[in-house]
Chains A and B, each alone.
Chain A
Amino acid sequence: MDELELLKKDWKKGEDSFPKLSYNEIYKMILKKSSSIVKWIFIISILEFVFWVAISFALKYSGYSDDIPNVESNTAFIILSVISYGVLAYFFYRFYINYRTINTTDSATTLMENILKTRRTVKQYVGFNLIVIVVSVGVLLPYFMNQDPQTQTIIENATANGELLKFYAGIIIVTLLMLAVAIGVLLLFYWLIYGILLKRLNKNYRELKKLEV
């Protein structure tokens, strides 16, 4: 006899062994809060958006911007701000639309795809911010160095001592290290999120997709 047929015979018999929950017990359950990964993904994604908006505000209103003369009237700065809020609005809209499509009554594959798509939107937003940070540092650092009188004095002293190359090398290495640490912390954060929340989903999704090959 086929193994599964034998199991099926017993499976049906086992139905009487389950506890019978009463109307009230079930009613109490529907009043409780869900602890599904979708809820956690939503919370974490919102926190990520808030985090990046907070970062951009912190940079905008920190002491740095005071060093840039007439920063608010600087056309490039205004254009960049508009672009960054436009991008935020675009990603948030996409995130919201994707989130709304998550439906537990879909097939397992579709449900998993929609959850992954929602996460991907947030990941792309984070990726966009990382690129902006790297580019900004690359553009703003030389700008600050040219504007800041203190830095200028240091550069002049370094030139006089013949250590200009060493000075620039130091600046570049320190900047790269700081960027690497910041990106490293973010990657660790992602590794943890995926490790905790999406490991099982990813594994099951791969398993389902494997069948389609």
Chain B
Amino acid sequence: MTKELEHSFVELLEKHQNIIHKVCRLYTYNYDAHNDLFQEITIQLWKAYPKFRGDAKFSTWMYRVGLNTAITLYRKSKRRISTQDFDDVQFKISAEEYDDTEEQQLKLLYNAVKQLNDIEKALVFLYLEDKNYREISETMGISEVNARVKMNRVKTKLRTILNP
């Protein structure tokens, strides 16, 4: 029974692993931290899996556990060997390969998002993942009205960071 459960879980996770990668992308700044958070989210998903009844979509369920782990449960790991920043890598590639204003704007945008607090990042994440305000409010445990208000504030904050 456990083997069956393990097998079905790992298969589902393998298929939907990008959701975890995306959470890690927003909340971590280097490869080691990314891997560390990825592992913790995987463990939390596995621990919660027996309670997963399939009445919710596996991916929807992953968003919730993934974000909860990133903003509440995760303790930043002490072991940080590599200090290479994702954005530095991305920026180097983009600066060499493109000389595009949109590319520059995107780089600034990603940097601005990194400056948001944990909750604001979660809202941006859900927005980028095409979640509607009802889903955002359910995932965060706030009212739909407040989710809208906060999202507008996040947009204003991003604009302020981009155009100080």
Contacts and interface: CB of A to CB of B under 8 A. Distances in A.
Given A30-B42, A35-B40, A6 B71 contact: no
Nearest to A2: B155
Contact of A200 (B118, B127, B142, B158): B118
A36 B73 contact: yes
Interface string A17-38: 0111111001101101111111
Given A27-B6, A30-B43, A37-B73, A212 B155 contact: no
Nearest to B113: A7
A204 B72 contact: yes
Interface in B47-91: 47-48, 51-52, 61, 64-65, 67-69, 71-75, 77
Contact of A6 (B39, B65, B102, B118): B102
A153 interface: no
A40 interface: yes
Interface stretch (A85-93, A99-107, A167-175): A99-107
Contact of A105 (B61, B124, B140, B162): B61
A172 to B, nearest CB: 44
B143 interface: yes
Nearest to B151: A4
Main secondary structure of the interface of B (DSSP, over half): helix
A56 to B, nearest CB: 32
Given A3-B159, A26-B13, A211 B146 contact: yes
Contact of A108 (B21, B139, B146, B150): B139
B43 A109 contact: no
B164 interface: no
Contacts of B6: 27, 30
Give the 8 A-B CB pairs with smallest separation, nearest first: A109-B141, A107-B141, A36-B73, A18-B21, A211-B146, A30-B46, A207-B119, A29-B42
Interface of B: 6, 9-11, 13-14, 17-18, 21-22, 25, 38-40, 42-44, 46-48, 51-52, 61, 64-65, 67-69, 71-75, 77, 102, 105-106, 109-110, 112-113, 117-120, 122, 124, 127-128, 130, 138-143, 146-147, 149-150, 155, 158-159, 162
Interface of A: 2-4, 6-8, 10-11, 14-15, 18-23, 26-27, 29-30, 32-38, 40, 103-112, 115, 197, 200-201, 203-204, 207-208, 211-212
9 contacts: A15-B18, A30-B9, A30-B42, A34-B43, A36-B44, A36-B75, A106-B64, A108-B71, A115-B72
Given A4-B127, A23-B10, 9 more contacts: A3-B159, A4-B124, A7-B109, A30-B9, A36-B73, A40-B75, A108-B71, A204-B119, A207-B120
